[in-house]
Amino acid sequence: MNNQSPHFSFPKAFETRMENILDADWTKFAQAHTQAAPVSIRVNPKKKFSPELPHVPWSDFGFYLQERPIFTLDPIFHAGAYYVQEASSLFLEQALKQTVDLTQPLRVLDLCAAPGGKSTHLLSLLSNDSLLISNEVIRARAQILWENIQKWGHPNVIVTNSDPSAFQQLKGYFDVIVVDAPCSGEGLFRKDADACKEWSEENINLCAQRQRRILNDVWPALKENGVLIYSTCTYNANENEANLNALADEYNVEFVSLKLNPEWNIETISSNNAIGYRFYPHRVQGEGFFISAMIKKESADRLKLKSNSKLNTPSTKIIERLKPWTLASEQFRWIQQQDLIIQIPESLLNEIDFISKLFFPLGKGTAVAELKHDKLVPEHAFALSNFINTDFFQATDLNESEAIAYLRKDVLAISEGLKCFGLVRYKNQNLGWVNHLGNRTNNLYPANWRIRMSAGINPSPE
């Protein structure tokens, strides 16, 4: 019997399967798909942005919005003060907090990281002396990932564009590996009409095979007693429980039973020895999602990283000029790649150098400035850094229309009497740089980041 609302059409085979699984709850599940998807954001705790909004219950950083604004027209979003992220996926925070000591320096791999939701979430949870490698195999998506990482403002990160199998070079290196696997997207039907149209049993099988290959490829890179967190945005057992059981059949795996608040309405899944957690849109204020955490109980030799190369560093004179730019400058080192000067945590320098030689990353650390002859031209990423000494620079506060004009890379008239590189800000959040020339202002916002939408309404989600 089909109790589905006529306003949403599921693929027939999917509908039959889910009716059998959900039984009496099928009607609620179908009805949930006729309602607007919840809108949620995750704030950047380093940017001191604290909206007065209802909390996502399993995340310290997640908030629900009453309606979906036009995020493209919100300067706070472009400042990296928050990330638009689906609420169910924020449960990664619980999986991490309940399996590792986040006060310790950890080596973490986010394997399928674009567009950056889980990587930026990880950066907010990890200590400053931890290292995150954020990877995306598709080049165009990796570029978007790097942009979002820069907005988040942390220097303890490398962004790579590699196949999962490449990480076998780092045997036993990672304390945590997060695999948010490409999937059939059943949990996103309400939000993504294309996911529903492209769904097929054949695609499920292809996804399951690809997911299994990804897990097998990256397993050697996890250290003994390291934690693997596996997640998808699908309900299908072939892509979830079956993959976990296949992994447990081949390797020595201990699944972690996470503590849940009963009010969260998250379903615990047990299949043979595998344990996972499933989110249904009729039970939680979020989309469909699946997650599992497991510990590698196999002996594994941990690769010892050594970097014997002589790093190219700026001159002492340049370094002394850079130090006042940065809060806690003694914690950082500056390296020079051609004319680009990059800031890297002192404690991670050798590891980042070693890994860079293996993977040729798209980006690492924080780009601080470009050296042009004897002039230091500040880089946009440094304006968004959580370690910039804002007091050292001339800062100009913009109103909303000026801020949007800046993000569109329009001409601003804010330089009267000023001749210097300066920050522009909106509601205490850095947006980027301008070059004050006394009688005119050069807008230095990156051309490939500029927004192309015209302002028409107040977009602020605050």
Kindly list the catalytic residues.
233
Compute CA 54 distance to the chain's CA centroid, rounded to the nearest angstrom: 22
Give the separation between CA 422 and CA 424, rounded to whole angstroms: 7
Please tell me the number of Cα atoms within 13 Å of 104 on its side-chain side.
Answer: 10
Q: For the chain, what's the residue count? A: 462
Q: Are strands 222-232 and 375-378 parallel, antiparallel or unpaired?
A: unpaired
CA distances from 17 to 34, 302, 319 (A): 19, 44, 63
CB 115 within 8 A of CB 107: no
Compute CA 8 distance to the chain's CA centroid, rounded to the nearest angstrom: 31
- Both tokens assigned to 117: 């939701």
Enumerate the H helices of 23-98 as residue ranges: 26-32, 75-78, 92-97
Give the separation between CA 276 and CA 231, rounded to whole angstroms: 9
Enumerate the H helices of 36-108 as residue ranges: 75-78, 92-97
